[in-house]
Homo-oligomer: A and B are copies of this chain.
Amino acid sequence: IAEPRWPLILLRTPKGMTGPQSYRGEPVEGSYRAHQVPIPDAKTNPESLRIVEDWLRSYRPDELFDGQGRPMPDILACCPTGDRRMGSNPHTFGGRIRRPLDRPDIFAYEVALASPENGLERGVSSVSSLEHVALYLRDVVARNRHQFRIMSPDELESNKLGAVFEVTQRDYQWPVAPHFSSHIGSDDGRVLEILSEHTCQAWLQGYLLTGRHGLFPSYEAFLTIVTSMMDQFAKFLKMSQQFSWRLPVSSLTYLETSTLWRQEHNGFSHQNPGFINSVLNLKPQFTRIYLPPDANTMVSTLDHCLRGTNYVNLVIANKPKLPQWLTMSEAIAHARAGASIWPWASTDDGVNPDVVLVGIGDTLTEEVMAAAEMLLHEFPELRVRVVNVTDLLVLQRESEHPHGLDDEMFAALFTPDKPVIVNFHGYPSAAKQLLFGRRHPQRFYIHGYQEEGTTTTPFDMHVVNATDRFHLVMQAIRLAAPVNPAVAARASERIHHYEYVLADFRRYIEEHGEDPPEIANWRWTGKP
């Protein structure tokens, strides 16, 4: 490994050096007065105008320009020609030289739901979306050694993407001990790892602008600190659309993980899904937010994101092993639609549910599925429809976002008028603003992160934010009771029962520091 010796020059200069030295008796150079407009009244005060003129003449423009104001030939002779001109460097016009990413066939990464004995078994395989998509990323790296990089503020391995190191390594610029090179696939490391989200953001922006491709995996709570940089990049995308010579560049894709919902090791300080809200404030034509519910949907989604140009993509998933719901073909269709009814988990026979349960986000979907299962088994008279949303922007009206569902499709999924319980990964504010323009938005009951939580178990994080299966079940019963007499007949008894179960579970968690086995080992068993 080469050991670079970067040159470093430190030059400390007074602010406003070589500018006008003083104004109205006060020194300018080297003071805060050198900021903004140091000589503010030059337009109206001849004495001030003289200060500005003297200053400008100190550059001796007569030696630099001819009588017509053109630069002198000897000045022009200093300029490089062609692509060597600063404004014509091909690498500043990445869109012109961009080649599509060489992507493998995603069916090679399908998590199989079928077993030879039982056929299709949903909710059984326990797979980490991150660990799994790492296999896909590994092969993307191997196929694109000169045009794909991962900028990583955390240990890639901590974010479960370590499989990438089967074919590449970290790109070290600092002299390192020999034992660092344990992940040698080539000496051209495609992973840039540095504990600075700001640096990763800047690196990736620059890399994309040169026509290449990349990915930015990060802890959810820490992306907040690059909100302003992300906004500036989106502003650049918007402005660049106005110039025909600015061809599209690859999208900036965030893989947001290590989310607030798993806090066994961290805690309250690591809980902030606000990056979603920040992305939602960008121009809609540049923003995409995906929350794939399982590993197949994750592979399909990331493959889609790495294909696109001129988007800011935010893909959100947790690291732990979770149940799997869709085959790869179903996942592709689900991701294309953005949201689907899961009929195999619904008891409304496709029409007229008492209540709609919606999962947005992987662990939030797991709680929705557990709630649906409880209702299927313990409350068969309650007609429930299960919907999953993987593309957050389908919630918005089609007039406000290109992915927004039109009114007919929205009603087809969520019914025109039935109560809808939404279990959402982020702050409820994000779902509320998206649903604001929909008809009868009050029928949507948004569960999400309410700034509650500490260092605790996964299930407890849900309970304290009312996003757990029991809160969902109890609310479904409350909402269905007024319209379904069979539900009403058992509502009070059942709700009190679930309150007691929940209280027992919380006592168990406090005592043992881990989730009760019924929760930790829960598996979807399907309809009765």
Q: Hey, what's the 0/1 contact readout for A11-27 against B, CB within 8 Å counting as 1?
A: 00000000000000011
Instruction: Give, as a whole number of angstroms, the nearest-CB distance from A20 to chain B.
Output: 14
Q: Hey, what's the 0/1 contact readout for A155-197 against B, CB within 8 Å counting as 1?
A: 1011000000000000000000101101000000000010000
Using CB atoms, name the residue of chain B closest to A426. B281
Other-chain residue from B225, B439, B441 in contact with A436 (beta carbon distance below 8 A): B441
**CB of A274 closer than 8 Å to a CB of B:** yes
Give residues 431-446 of A contacting B (CB, 8 Å).
Answer: 432-433, 435-437, 439, 441-442
A172 to B287, CA, bound (A): 44
Q: Hey, what's the 0/1 contact readout for A444-467 against B, CB within 8 Å counting as 1?
A: 000000010000000000000000
Using CB atoms, name the residue of chain B closest to A197. B228
A502 to B272, CA, bound (A): 43
**CB of A30 closer than 8 Å to a CB of B:** yes
Contact A177 B30 (CB under 8 A): yes
Contact A179 B27 (CB under 8 A): yes
A501 to B180, CA, bound (A): 69
**CB of A278 closer than 8 Å to a CB of B:** yes
Contacts of A235 in B (CB 8 A): 268-269, 451
Number of copies: 2
Instruction: Give, as a whole number of angstroms, the nearest-CB distance from A416 to chain B.
Output: 14
Instruction: Give, as a whole number of angstroms, the nearest-CB distance from A435 to chain B.
Output: 7
A436 to B32, CA, bound (A): 46
A179 to B235, CA, bound (A): 41
Number of chain A interface residues as a range: 35 or more
Q: Hey, what's the 0/1 contact readout for A327-349 against B, CB within 8 Å counting as 1?
A: 00000000000000000000000
Contacts of A268 in B (CB 8 A): 235, 239
Contact A278 B269 (CB under 8 A): no
Contact B177 A27 (CB under 8 A): yes
Are A280 and B429 CB-contacts (below 8 A) given A36-B158, A225-B225?
yes
**CB of A523 closer than 8 Å to a CB of B:** no
Other-chain residue from B27, B274, B439 in contact with A281 (beta carbon distance below 8 A): B274
**CB of A514 closer than 8 Å to a CB of B:** no
**CB of A492 closer than 8 Å to a CB of B:** no
Using CB atoms, name the residue of chain B closest to A35. B155
Are A238 and B436 CB-contacts (below 8 A) given A30-B177, A35-B155, A177-B31?
no
Contact A442 B451 (CB under 8 A): no
Contacts of A433 in B (CB 8 A): 428-430, 432-433, 436
Could you jot down 11 A-B contacts, CB within 8 Å? Answer: A27-B179, A36-B158, A272-B281, A274-B277, A281-B429, A432-B432, A432-B436, A432-B437, A433-B436, A435-B436, A441-B442
* New contact pairs (6) apart from A280-B429, A282-B451, CB-CB < 8 Å: A30-B177, A32-B193, A235-B269, A277-B277, A277-B278, A441-B441
Closest 7 pairs between A and B when the two form their complex, measured CB to CB = A432-B436, A429-B433, A432-B433, A433-B433, A224-B228, A27-B179, A281-B427
